[in-house]
Chains A and B, each alone.
Chain A
């Protein structure tokens, strides 16, 4: 592992300045994609992928170590995370020859993928998807609407969930289908978020025809395929937790060093957050250790997701509070942006209420309502 990280540091010390010189402070989508392309060529962005897909075939712990080094180097965010972490592993597992060709292009950002799961009527109740994929001859005819599609505005392709059997029970009649966003009948509209950005979009489908070959995994088994996708980033939540712990440590160091007087109440709030961050960090490390030893974490994921989302929201609330009036005058834009953006932590990828339902139903075996 040490050799690997040394190789990475050498690579970064060469690549990062080159990228910075080329883009000169520009952090546009194109600039970020260029960075991902370099990271994929170096086989760093794709380190977890098998060698035949241009990866290094590394395990979770090595990949996390790589991500830590990359993050510490001040490198920009990788834009195609959904493709790298969720879609590509699903394509490798369920895709046919043609679909698997996309994997390499996902690494290089020649293709940018989004996940079209949620709909206006299917959010927490995801199995309620209504977008229809009617089988006509050797084509699916897709009609309906997707919403909250992250990367929707930049995406070239989508992994879509559509109802292919309207007569089957909820979870049984859904299929996963891949398609190009340029297919006639696909219309993408940006959705402006509370933080002013437009990272997600809504996508409309009107008589969109795609070949049956675009089916991903078995027919009507889209629910299973999707759950596998969502399960791929098992370690992801632990990584978020570790970063949050670091962030809270950093925030407290800054406050301690700064010369703004804080009230005893705020000092206690910070100490309370510190305690929770340390406990969350311990939980995350223990989960990663379990993975490193070949174990499969189960309920830890849900617990860490729940604790992480609430604590990360709280940090931004405290930062906003520390900013005082500057938080609302635009003088401390970062604090306000952080605060607004943090609202999504308890909504995206399963709301906190739903996570509590999952723990209650599946972990504790409580009766469903």
Chain B
């Protein structure tokens, strides 16, 4: 038997797992909560989860790498998800994405990510910044939103 290194002195991980009864089937939920608490999933935290749920690190790695949501590196200050699916393509999301990549590249500590449908397909282009959804986002609205998030005023109008 391999020697198990006990990483479970991580109180937060212990608490999150316990809230789900240490059940392996709740792995996605546990990872979501861990990521919400810390911003991303560190090696140490994943090792601790594996230990507590009694599953292999390979299994955890398989899960973390399968799903688009999980981060294995610290996130930027804010994440701009632009819908690149068909209904938003039909109203110019590709052009918006190009604009976003060009304007957000330098210094803002923001990331532009592609998502495929945010369920706001009648009011595209749709954009989600952190957990807030925006509709009919043209360049002007996009720039205004980014300005607000960059200056730390999260709630934009």
Partners in one complex: no
Chain A contact residues, CB within 8 Å of chain B: none
Q: Contact residues of B with A, CB < 8 Å?
A: none
